[in-house]
Amino acid sequence: MILCDTGIIVALASKTDQYHRQCVEATKSTRVQFVTTWPCITEAMHLVGIPYDRELVRQMVETGFLSLPSPTIADALRACALMRKYADAPMDFADASLVVAAETLNITRILTLDSHFYAYRINDAAPFEVLP
């Protein structure tokens, strides 16, 4: 499994995104399940500009291209704690939710365009393997 950040989702859905081709190639060459979080889907739906692109994001969920773990209140509380810890990064709730997903699902690889993930630590110890 590989985590998928908001920027990747937006780039995949929007052919006009400057990272579209790079993200398509990165996902084509990877033969594992892509996992994201509800905050990332919400953020992506907000950031894609046109209804056609929002439809592509919906299809990523509906077809199972993106897997969405069910969040718990403990996950939300851990995300809030991480946001306080990484406040200088700054870490938003979507990024925090991905770190929590990495911790709960034992995932170390993430597809992201966000350099903050080089600083974040899984279980306050292990670094992410940042792709592409």
What are 32's two structure tokens?
Answer: 């594992």
Q: Which domains does the chain have, with CATH numbers?
A: 2-131 (3.40.50.1010)
pLDDT in tens, 60-89: 999 999 999 999 999 999 999 999 999 998
> How far apart are the C-alpha atoms of 125 and 65, rounded to whole Å?
29
Sequence-ordered alpha helix ranges (H) in the chain: 6-13, 20-28, 38-47, 51-62, 73-85, 93-105
pLDDT in tens, 7-63: 999 999 999 999 999 999 989 878 899 999 999 999 999 999 889 999 999 999 999
